[in-house]
Amino acid sequence: MSEHPYGTPLPHGTPDGPLSQPLVRATTGALPSAEALRAAGAGESRAHFFYQRCGHPNERAFEAQVAGREGADGAVAFSSGMAAVTAVCLTFLRAGSRLLMADEIYGGSVALAAQDLPRFGVRVDRISCLDLAALDAALAEPADLLLFETPVNPTLRIVDVRAVAERCRRAGVRTVLDGTFAPPPVQRALALGVDLVLHSATKYFGGHSDVLAGVVAGAHAVMRPLAALRQRTGAVLAPDAAWLLCRSMATLPLRLAAQQATALAVARACRPRSGAAGWPRSPIRDCPSIPTGN
């Protein structure tokens, strides 16, 4: 188990041990002594598997893979993408906080912002992150968090991540990007300057329509409080789901390459008939040609 309460990138080197992650469904682990039990319960030691809600081997293995691919210090996995979004909001917002949320964002996030966050005293202002002048105007007033998405689900419109992140950094606003529709290596949001990147792992990371999950990646300073909230609220990723995700991550680059080739073929076939097609890397309507990173 990692010294952190979440997965961290694996060191490069010669593989050692099973090439397929063993599935560990146990909810509780035996510890070698009463002192080891005390230290584990107090969070002072993570040398041993203790209790599934506090972290388990399959969850850590998936988190380690995501952290490595995102170039992050660590990653925290959740039971769904919306569990990840909710955890980020509960961790970094409180009564009196101001959340800036993009107009172009997943409907589940919109519902959370409209129906739940205001009940806890969080002010939510909607802006278009496709309009940098509008973002500048919104940042003229203090804010705590910006939640935005690119490519946008389902229109595939592209936000200039670097420009948004730079503006928010100058204003002292933490940035959270939902990068579900462009997982690495297509887009590496942290390298473009955002503070946290989250994914509905149900989509591209899972890839087989048989697992529900979410994950957030970033620096240790933001992962630690997020992992602590996950443990308190119990929104952990189950071992079976984590195992399936580890299986899927091995084929992620191959699947992405095939999906991109298919999308281009569909866009080219549809364009003569409709006059437009939503493919983010072509300069056609609703898809400005802004790089998504490399």
Residues classed as catalytic = 53, 106, 178, 203
Which DSSP state fits 91?
H
Determine how β-strand 174-178 pairs with β-strand 196-200: parallel
Rounded Cα distance, 179 and 108, in Å? 15
Q: What angle do CA 109, 114, 120 make, to 5 degrees?
A: 105
Are 235 and 91 in contact by the 8 Å Cβ rule? The answer is no
- Half-sphere CA count of 31, side-chain side, radius 13 A: 17
Task: List C-alpha distances in Å: 167 to 134, 173, 288.
Answer: 12, 9, 20
Contact 159, 104 (CB under 8 A): yes
Handedness of CA 184, 185, 186, 187 (dihedral sign): positive
Q: Which residue, chain included where needed, has tokens 């990692």?
A: 2
User: Per DSSP, what are the bridge partners of residue 76?
Assistant: 216
| β-pair type (214-218, 174-178) | unpaired
- Where does 157-281 have alpha helices with state H? 161-171, 220-233, 239-249, 252-274
